[in-house]
Every structure is written in structure tokens, then in C-alpha cells.
Amino acid sequence: MGAILLIRHGQASFGAGDYDQLSATGFTQSRVLGESLKQRVLKVDQVLTGGMRRHRQTAETALAAMGVDTKIEDDAGWAEYDHVAVIAAHRPEWADQTRMMAELNKLPNPRRAFQQEFEQATARWIGGLHDDNYPESWRAFCVRVQQALQRLHARLGKSQTALVFTSGGPISAVAQQLLHLSDANTLRLNWTLANAAISKLIYSERALYLSTLNDHAHFEGARADLITYR
């Protein structure tokens, strides 16, 4: 059987002017990830990203650590949902990211405060009662990801290995499809996905199966300081 490794990007730059780039920790996570994959993956046949900068930076850093020069292709089907639009629909004043960070930074724990608001915002989005408020509904997002997975499955040959550098949202949507999770449980799952973690699918010509989910053992033990979730 072949394998598709869905890899969440390294830590992005929360609170910076441009979120869509890796933090210093994110680059280190990507390098350690690549060093681990070098021992685990004998041959890489295809590499895809969702087209976001943090995806490509993670891919380039990991592949360099693996010593692999496989061409990186972009497929926007693997892009993350628009989290700015999701949070703005819940808190319209936070469409202004500068204002959002200014308000959060007045609080004792900005990251925790943001997470609480973001959980409410995504629950509203997934609920489906306000689809007109979003450029992409939750259902449309899930269909987009399913189609991206189908395209990749169709193009893979027998017993090949593909690496897909993407985000937590698409990985959660794939898990929902293969494990038949409810929307609520899919949302809970999304919050547990570690940066630069690996979720492995195995495939035959006829089917796809989830083999492992959110594997980040490469950060355990001496590298536990590299375990992050946002």
C-alpha cells in the first residue's frame, strides 16, 4: 500500500504583522521534522502544499533536512480556511488585525484570550446558521479538502509516498471524513493538532484509511520544548 503524510505547518507568527510565515520556533520544528522523516521515509514521490507561505517554508526546511529535492507543487485545495474572516464574523471589530492585537495585548494571557474567542468563532462558522457571513462555508471547505484528497489519490501510483504540507483545518476535515466524526468532535480534534505533526493515510487503488493521527513523537523527550499548537 502507498502512503500520504499530511503534515501540519510549523508554528506561524501569531501577533506579528504577517501571520503567514514561520516563527523561529516554526523553522526549528520543520528542521527536526525533516531529520525524523529522513529516517522513516525511504522515497518521496510527490510533495504538495496548500500554497500558503507557512506551508512552503515548512516543506522547504523539512525537505532540506531530509536531503530530498522532490519538486514542490501547490494545490489550493489544501489551503487553510480564512481564519480572519471567521473571527471577524464573530467579532467584526477584529477584522482590523492591529486593533485585535492591541486589545489582546492588554490582557494577562493574549494567546489564551484569542483561543477562547476563536473557539467561539469557529463553532459559529461550523454551526451552519450564518453561512452568508463567510466567503467559504464550513461545508464548502470540507468539500474542497475532500476534492483535493481525491485528486491526489487518483494521481498516485501503486505504493508511492506523498507529503502534503497543509494546516490543521484540512487535516481535521480529512479525519472527519475517514473517521465519521461529528462537526463538534472535529472542532475539538482541530485544537489538539500539534505544529509539524504527521497524520498518515495509507491507500490502495480502491480506498483510503487513516493509519496515524497527530504524530509528533519527534518532539517528545529532549525536544518537548518544540511542542506547540498555534
pLDDT of residue 23: 95
Q: By the 8 A CB rule, do 40 and 218 touch?
A: no
CA distance 103 to 150: 42
CA dihedral sign of residues 99, 102, 103, 109: positive
pLDDT of residue 19: 78
Over residues 139-176, the pLDDT tens digits come to 999 999 999 999 999 999 999 999 999 999 999 999 99
Grid coordinates representing 122?
469557529
Q: By the 8 A CB rule, do 7 and 174 touch?
A: no
**Residue 134: pLDDT band by 50, 70, 90 thresholds?**
very high
Contacts of 114 (CB under 8 A, 6+ apart): 14, 100, 104
**Residue 15: pLDDT band by 50, 70, 90 thresholds?**
low
- HSE value, Cβ hemisphere, 13 Å, CA-based, for 88: 12
Query: Could you tell me what percent of the chain has a pLDDT over 70?
Result: 98
**How does 60-80 read in b/e, with b if 16+ C-beta sit within 10 Å?**
bbbbebbebebebebbebbbb
- HSE value, Cβ hemisphere, 13 Å, CA-based, for 230: 14
pLDDT of residue 95: 87
Give the best-scoring range by mean pLDDT among 10-14, 105-109, 120-124: 120-124
- HSE value, Cβ hemisphere, 13 Å, CA-based, for 190: 25
Asked whether the predicted pLDDT for residue 30 surpasses 70, the reply is: yes
Q: What is the mean pLDDT of residues 172-185?
A: 96
CA angle 32, 24, 186 (to 5 degrees): 70
Q: What is the set of domains in the chain, with CATH numbers?
A: 2-80+136-226 (3.40.50.1240), 82-135 (no CATH)
CA distance 57 to 27: 8
Least confident of 108-117, 127-136, 174-183: 108-117
Asked whether the predicted pLDDT for residue 47 surpasses 90, the reply is: yes
Over residues 189-228, the pLDDT tens digits come to 999 999 999 999 999 988 899 999 999 999 999 899 999 9
How confident is the prediction for the chain on average, in pLDDT?
A: 94
Query: Could you tell me what percent of the chain has a pLDDT over 90?
Result: 84
123, amino acid identity: A
- Record the pTM: 0.93
pLDDT of residue 92: 93
pLDDT of residue 105: 87
Q: What is the mean pLDDT of residues 56-63?
A: 98
